[in-house]
Amino acid sequence: MPVWMRRHKLLLIVGAMFVGLLVFAACNGDDDDGVTPADETPAATDETPAAAAEVEALAAICFPESCRTALREAIEQGLIDQFIFVDGSKSQEMFDDIGVENFEGMSGTAPGAADPDLAQAFEDAYNASEFGPIPALPFLRESYDAVYLIALAAAAANSTDSADIRDNLRYIANPAGEVINPGTAGFTTALELLDAGDDINYEGAAGPQDFDANGDVAKGAIEIWKIVDGEITVQSSEVSDLGTAAEGTLSRADTTPTDPLKIGILVPFTGDLSDFGPAFFDAAKLAAQEINAAGGVFGQDIVLVDADTGTVEATGVESANTLIDVEGVSAIVGAASSAVTLPIAESVTGPAGILMISPSSTSPALTAVTDNDFLFRSTISDAAQGVVLAELAIDLGFTVVCTFFVNTAYGEGLSDQFKETFEALGGTVPAAVPHEQEQTSYTSELQTCVEG
């Protein structure tokens, strides 16, 4: 032993004993001392809340242009890589632009086809036309059906007056009556029946077009689609009943119009929904070609006049006014987004008495809009889609999902319906985050959505 240790042996012994006492106290102290044993974790209390569950997926309730930016940022910044989608984000072109391999196996919902055979007949006709091949987009069937509905109602009314067309719409669309399907042969049969004063019941490419008292379809389908081998593929379709078809009556003018029936096609050729607009117009043109091949209405070809909404309220309102005041259309197919359709119905078409049938405005808010009964839609409300989306999320095994929704009536309504149903099924929505259209970045909103 070194000399210095022999000299201080007593001091070393005392010091060692003191350190031992300190260690013993630290390991066996009372809880009241405020010292927690190292092998125990404090229980969650009101003062020490449990950590929030990690978000497992993001519900992308956005339009293609905005989605391109947001989804790319979410993936590249490692914020989240699991998504569920809706009708507004169902765009093959969008997925391809971002890198479809990032979304392989992921799923979404959209209004679908209630009758697979009629839907297939429409797709075959589209593919065989100058507009084919048909793109993987929603609402093409509904745009096609809307033109048929207006043409048949005008033929029944024997009038180009918009109020007359509106008054006959439920008569030609709702039960009872002989079922009429789209196509040149079907339209020819419909004209013969109407001329004889017989009732008809149009059932189109999207399914039954049975309108309730609010102008909503009383029945429709919601499909589940999935990205398989890089392609959007429909997996299943479920029919939902949301209302009761209202009774329609025939009201027919004595004198046949000498002017052709003009229909406005008000769709987004530019803006956040520009992926959709051109195909919507093509589907409407396909319907017009088939109708005109049957002799048109009043023995004349129907005429389509297109206008752009820009996916912007002000542009949509201006274009609707132009279609009515300058072009003199009797009815309008459009608009696409609920946020554009609502102000047009309230401030333009409703006061002017012009029928408008939207093929794709799905917000539940449209049901109660003040429109003088001039707003109809050939697609089912998101009161149905939000429920199916929530059920899909549960089926996929997700228990914690945030919603990233476009700050419009459409986005808010779909997010609210999803949240209500998802939480009723046992899931959790820790954040529902709105976003504006076509921002340069969505990093802040995405962080709020997935990180709280």
pLDDT on residue 391? 98
Q: What is the pLDDT of residues 356-402, one digit of tens each?
A: 999 999 999 999 999 999 999 999 999 999 999 999 999 999 999 99
Give the three-class secondary structure for 364: helix
The answer to whether residues 207 and 297 belong to one domain is yes
Residue 220 reports pLDDT greater than 50:
yes
311 lies in the same domain as 403:
no
Q: For the residues 67-87, what does the mean pLDDT come to?
A: 98
> Of the residues 380, 414, 432, which one is the last residue of a structural domain?
380
The overall average pLDDT reported for the chain is 90
Per-residue pLDDT averaged across 281-305, rounded?
98
State whether 325 and 436 are in the same domain.
Answer: no
* Structural domain total, the chain: 2
pLDDT band at 229 (very low <50, low <70, confident <90, very high): very high
The pLDDT of residue 348 is above 90 = yes
Residues in the chain: 452
> How confident is the model at residue 13, as a pLDDT?
35
Beta strands in 187-330 (DSSP E): 200-204, 207-208, 219-228, 231-241, 262-267, 303-308
Predicted local confidence at residue 2, as pLDDT: 39
Amino acid 196: pLDDT: 92
Mean pLDDT of all residues in 243-262: 94
Domain of residue 333 covers 116-216+246-380
**Domain contains 280:** yes
Flag whether 238 is in a domain. Answer: no
Single out the residue in 359, 380, 401 at which a domain terminates: 380
Look at residue 24 and tell me if it is in a domain.
no
DSSP states of 116-172 = HHHHHHHHHHHHHSTTPSPPS-SSHHHHHHHHHHHHHHHHHHT---HHHHHHHHHHH
Between CA 448 and CA 444 the distance in angstroms is: 6
> CA–CA separation, 25 vs 35, rounded Å?
10
Taken in order 63, 64, 67, 69, the sign of the CA dihedral is negative
Per-residue buried b or exposed e for 306-333, using 16+ beta carbons within 10 Å of the residue's own CB:
bbbbbbbbebbbbbbbebbeeeebbbbb
Q: What is the mean pLDDT of residues 55-59?
A: 98
Q: Are residues 355 and 320 in the same domain?
A: yes
Instruction: Specify whether 374 is located in the same domain as 276.
Output: yes
Residue 171 pLDDT grade (very low, low, confident, very high; cuts 50, 70, 90): very high
Q: Are residues 335 and 193 in the same domain?
A: yes
pLDDT(84) > 90: yes
Share of the chain above pLDDT 70, in %: 88
Same domain, 335 and 352: yes
Give me the pLDDT at residue 238, please: 87
Shared domain for 76 and 127, answered yes or no, is no
Q: What is the pTM of this model?
A: 0.88
- For residue 64, what is the domain's CATH number? 3.40.50
First and final C-alpha spacing in the chain: 63
Sorted by sequence, the CB contacts under 8 Å of residue 154 that are 6+ apart come out as 160, 164, 165, 168, 261, 297, 298, 330, 331
Six-digit token string for 99: 């890198």
State the Cα–Cα distance between residues 191 and 140, nearest whole angstrom. Answer: 24
Q: Are residues 195 and 135 in the same domain?
A: yes
pLDDT at residue 271 tops 60: yes
The residue among 362, 380, 398 that closes a domain is: 380
Residues 425, 427, 430, 434: is their CA dihedral positive or negative? negative
189-202 pLDDT tens trace: 999 999 999 999 99
Residues 414 and 432 both lie in one domain = yes
CATH number for position 202: 3.40.50.2300
| Interatomic CA distance for residues 264 and 287, integer angstroms | 13
| Preceding omega of 190 cis (within 30 degrees of 0) | no
The residue among 85, 135, 127 whose CA lies nearest residue 278 is: 135
Q: How high is the pLDDT of residue 46?
A: 41
pLDDT band, residue 452 (cuts 50/70/90): confident
Is the pLDDT reported for residue 295 higher than 70? yes
* Residue 332 and residue 388 share a domain: no
Q: What is the pLDDT of residues 120-141, one digit of tens each?
A: 999 999 999 999 999 999 999 9
d(CA 184, CA 431): 50
Whether 11 is in a domain gets the answer: no
CA atoms within 13 A on the CB side of 185: 2
Confidence check: pLDDT of 34 > 80: no
pLDDT of amino acid 8: 40
Cα torsion 24, 27, 32, 36 to 10°: value is 160
User: Which of the two residues, 20 and 186, has the higher pLDDT score?
Assistant: 186
Q: Rounded distance, CA 324 to CA 335, Å?
A: 14
Residue 438 backbone class (left: φ over 0; alpha: ψ -120 to 50; beta: rest): left
- Given a cut of 60, is residue 48 above it in pLDDT? no
pLDDT score for 240: 86
359 and 288 in a common domain: yes
Give CA–CA dist 261/428, Å, rounded: 51
- Is the pLDDT confidence value at 11 over 50? no
